[in-house]
Amino acid sequence: MSSSEVYFKQNVLVEPLFNQWYAWSNLIPPATAAMYIANSHLKIMQSFVTTPEIHIAALSNPEMLGGPYINYDTTKVDGIKELIAKTVETQGPMVEFAEAIKTFETALQTEARGYSLEAFYQRVPEVLKGYVELVYDLSNRPSLRFIEGLLYKSRFYTEASQSIALSNVESDERSFVFSTPRLHDSSCLFLNVPFRYSGLDELFRMKQVAQPYEWIRQMFDLTTEEEEDLFSSFFTAEEPKQCERYKGEGVRIRYFGHACILIESSDVSVLVDPVISYKDASGIERYIHADLPETIDYVLVTHSHQDHIMFETLLQLRHKIKNLIVPRSSGGDRVDPSLKLILSTIGFPSVHELDEMERIEISGGEIVGLPFLGEHADLDIRSKLGYCVKILGRSIVLVADSNNLESSLYRHIHEELGDVDLFFIGMECDGAPMSWLYGPLLTSPLARKNDQSRRFDGSDFQKGMAIVDIIKPREVYVYAMGQEPWLTFLTSIKYTDESRPIVESNKLVDECRRRGLTAERLYLKKEIFLAPIAEPARSQMCFAGAD
């Protein structure tokens, strides 16, 4: 390709990888990454090498798509063997760290009976020393608190494990990514750069702004002619669609799929849970990266699950984002690592934590962090928030995957917010068992019957309508259902008309319409407009230079 100015194509697949596994929020903090390497990645790969036919047979059943099975045929056994050897060699300290956590936590929980924990510091394994605090809760149950900030400075956080895989997107079809590592092949280019590398921002900015090809090529270490040829195929001289900032008088809301909502006035833009599709040749309508404004004032993340904080999208948007808002974590708990530390460490420059019922002043309104219950299998995870976005006198409430376990919570919230205009709620009311996501973090097994009872489920019809009754919205939208064809690789969900989440959400939509409310289960794309009605009140917190 010549040195003429080019654009980065809209349909280039960008996969962030950790040790060749698809990267998500628990593969960045050293304490959780170590547990997933030792208790998930190595075990899955060893199982595949030993009995690949079991994995192949399991994945022939659509109901098993989200299970711990590698989606390769037997020709990839040698490649997985090589990755096992590489993992053992390069991630040895992480495996040692994970084993030390298991051994010491077991001893602590067995022997610590409410007396002072001071003597136990002498028994902390060397690999953990200085990185943990020993604590009791108020019921005298002992545990480890990790000093996360120090762990990111330690040998256990290695940017060399991070890379970006680029390939051309041909369709929406992608294999489920969380149980299959990415092996090298001729169709994929691996960029061995850390996620914080500023060259990635320049690359992704070229989706909208042309630059000389030679200028961007020199930012990446391409060593072979094959790599050069593949890299050049990701660029085009054709100018993409340019999306201008919304200039209307009121509020425009766009649904980008799943839980991704863009809220705009002429003065401010707010993007919630960014999961953005690529341009696809299938003809299915959707919003893509090119439909986002040049800058995004606020990005809001509701919680740390892979389909709500998606690095694949966030890294491509980093150059656009002025402020990234995340829920505050409990601080040092292995199951609830700090989202602020995760995102700051991988290169996001302006990350802010928000607590329950805290407010941020924005141009023409405010953002309020809302508590929500459920969807976390009864684990003590604090880093989860719904949001109320108030703009030009209008209020939009998004409660993500809230399971309405206690309606009094929403009565208290309603007392603070009043009636709302738009209400967005997820209703994936089956949900996977606790071990599906957090099993690798356990140091002792959970009985199957207990595991099956503790699920990542949202509200059903009855619970969802109870919230509607309390907060009295004018319009109700079911979202975050994972239905879009480009999301199967994240959710492994393939609904039928008889699937319980579809049946329950249909009942909610029908009942809302029967009452005269606008209601819809969102799918693919949607645009909603709200006229301004009043000058909003000022609020309590403001980030300098945010607007």
Answer yes or no: is 117 within a domain: no
Same domain, 176 and 201: yes
Residue 2: pLDDT above 70?
no
pLDDT of residue 401: 94
The number of folded domains in the chain is: 2
Classify the phi-psi angles of 50: left when phi > 0, otherwise alpha if psi is within -120 to 50, otherwise beta.
alpha
Residue 536: pLDDT above 60?
no
- How many whole angstroms separate alpha carbon 215 and alpha carbon 5? 9
Same domain, 56 and 195: yes
Same domain, 417 and 506: yes
Per residue in 476-488, pLDDT tens?
A: 999 999 999 999 8
- How many whole angstroms separate alpha carbon 349 and alpha carbon 365? 24
Percentage of the chain lying above the pLDDT 70 cut? 97
Residues 6+ apart with CB under 8 A from 243: 290, 291, 292, 293, 294
Same domain, 197 and 309: no
Answer yes or no: is 523 within a domain: yes
Rounded mean pLDDT of 90-109? 97
Answer yes or no: is 190 within a domain: yes
Rounded mean pLDDT of 327-353? 96
pLDDT of residue 282: 74
Tokens of 14: 């960008």
pLDDT of residue 544: 47
Residue 188: pLDDT above 90?
yes
Task: Report the SS3 class of residue 399.
Answer: coil
Lateral strand order in the sheet of 394-398: 359-362, 365-370, 386-391, 394-398, 422-426, 475-479, 518-521
Same domain, 337 and 468: yes
Residues 6+ apart with CB under 8 A from 128: 97, 100, 101, 104, 144
pLDDT of residue 283: 80
**Of 194, 217, 240, at which residue does a domain stop?**
240
Range of the domain at 440: 251-530
Answer yes or no: is 101 within a domain: no
Contact assessment for residue 343 and residue 371, using Cβ atoms and an 8 Å cutoff: no
**Of 240, 273, 289, at which residue does a domain stop?**
240
**Of 240, 270, 287, at which residue does a domain stop?**
240
| Confidence class for position 539, pLDDT limits 50, 70, 90 | very low
Name the residue with higher pLDDT: 472 or 170.
472
- How many whole angstroms separate alpha carbon 303 and alpha carbon 384? 4
Residues 6+ apart with CB under 8 A from 140: 113, 114
Same domain, 162 and 255: no
Per residue in 287-331, pLDDT tens?
A: 999 999 999 999 999 999 999 999 999 999 999 999 999 999 988
Same domain, 215 and 340: no
Contact assessment for residue 253 and residue 246, using Cβ atoms and an 8 Å cutoff: no
| Confidence class for position 535, pLDDT limits 50, 70, 90 | low
pLDDT of residue 538: 47
Per residue in 127-143, pLDDT tens?
A: 999 999 999 999 999 99
pTM for this model (two decimals):
0.95
Answer yes or no: is 317 within a domain: yes
Task: Centre a 10 Å sphere on the Cβ of residue 452 and count the other Cβ atoms it contains.
Answer: 13
Answer yes or no: is 132 within a domain: no
Tokens of 385: 């928030």
Same domain, 233 and 255: no
Same domain, 453 and 526: yes
Q: Which long-range contacts (CB under 8 A, 24 or more apart) does 148-153 make?
A: 148/29, 148/31, 148/331, 148/332, 148/337, 148/338, 148/341, 149/341, 151/29, 151/30, 151/31, 152/29, 152/30, 152/341, 152/345
Answer yes or no: is 542 within a domain: no
For the chain, what is the radius of gyration of the CA atoms?
24
Q: Which of 207-211, 443-447, 466-470 has the lowest mean pLDDT?
A: 443-447
Contact assessment for residue 185 and residue 74, using Cβ atoms and an 8 Å cutoff: no
Tokens of 102: 């298991």
| Confidence class for position 363, pLDDT limits 50, 70, 90 | very high
In one-letter notation, the amino acid at residue 269 is: S
Same domain, 420 and 391: yes
| Confidence class for position 541, pLDDT limits 50, 70, 90 | low
- How many whole angstroms separate alpha carbon 75 and alpha carbon 475? 52
Tokens of 237: 């001289």
Same domain, 226 and 271: no
Residues 6+ apart with CB under 8 A from 384: 302, 303, 304, 327, 372, 375, 376, 400
Same domain, 201 and 320: no
Answer yes or no: is 144 within a domain: no
Q: What is the CATH number of the domain that holds 432?
A: 3.60.15.10
- How many whole angstroms separate alpha carbon 397 and alpha carbon 420? 7
pLDDT of residue 543: 62
Residue 243: pLDDT above 90?
no
